[in-house]
Amino acid sequence: MDWRTFAQEMASLARDLLAQESVNDTLKRITSSAIELVEGCDAAGILVLRGGRVHSLAPTEQLVVDSDRLQERVGEGPCFDAARTSEGARQFRIADFTAEARRWPRYVPEARALGLGSMMGILLFTEDEDLGALDFYSRRPGAFTEASETAGWLLASHAAVAFSSARTQAQLEEAIGTRHIVGEAMGILMGSHRLTEDQAFAALRRHSQDHNVKLRDVARQVCERGGLP
């Protein structure tokens, strides 16, 4: 591992991640960079747990999705553990899938049948939240060395900040968009039904609750139809 070259590539990646236009683009850049920057990595993805269910984000190939689904089904595995661990170890590695499975005994044999030789799982986290696990896969046993693990940890550190930042920006943009369309819908109701601002908002909120439809979607319908559906 040429750490000077790696540092230069990481610096370039940090700028590139901030330039991505969406959360999905950011995640795809992270996983593609795992293959480019981490020695031995053949495939990569981000595993996220939501309500006990596994979601595969930006997988570079189907092998990643198959491994994530397997970990969910058997309830164990390095990336599954990393994604649900808030304390203790935040980095896991299976050096050789052909060796005896002392840890994750249900996952390892079936993962071996998928064609996996070795893998790593590293938690994506910031000071405020845990975001999931960045997972690295190789078809070759013993592909990941201590240097690979260090490189993976450094990439995951940059990735977590970029992921969190992109998601916050997307949430802000959605909030601004929601505020704009709700305001437009309120104006329509105020003009057509001679309602006050508070009455117009209450009408939107009541329709949203009564029909189990998001407030933004109700507002969009009002804008499209000129009134409540």
Q: In this predicted model, what pLDDT tens digit does every residue of 168-215 receive, in sequence order?
A: 776 666 767 788 888 888 888 888 888 888 888 888 888 888 888 888
pTM value? 0.72
Alpha carbon 41 to chain centroid, angstroms: 19
Q: Per DSSP, what are the bridge partners of residue 92?
A: 121
Q: What percent of the chain has pLDDT over 90?
A: 26
pLDDT at 67: 93
Closest CA to 219 of 190, 191, 179: 179
Alpha carbon 189 to chain centroid, angstroms: 39
22: pLDDT strictly greater than 70: yes
Give the CA count within 13 Å in the CB-facing half-sphere of 170: 14
Question: What confidence category does residue 129 fall into, taking pLDDT thresholds of 50, 70 and 90?
Answer: low
How far is it, in rounded angstroms, from Cα 73 to Cα 111? 12
Map residue 53 onto helix, strand or coil: strand
Average pLDDT of every residue of the chain: 84
Backbone torsions φ then ψ of 124, nearest 5 degrees: -95, 115
**Best-predicted range by mean pLDDT (7-11, 50-54, 104-108):** 104-108
How far is it, in rounded angstroms, from Cα 149 to Cα 140? 15
Backbone torsions φ then ψ of 203, nearest 5 degrees: -65, -40
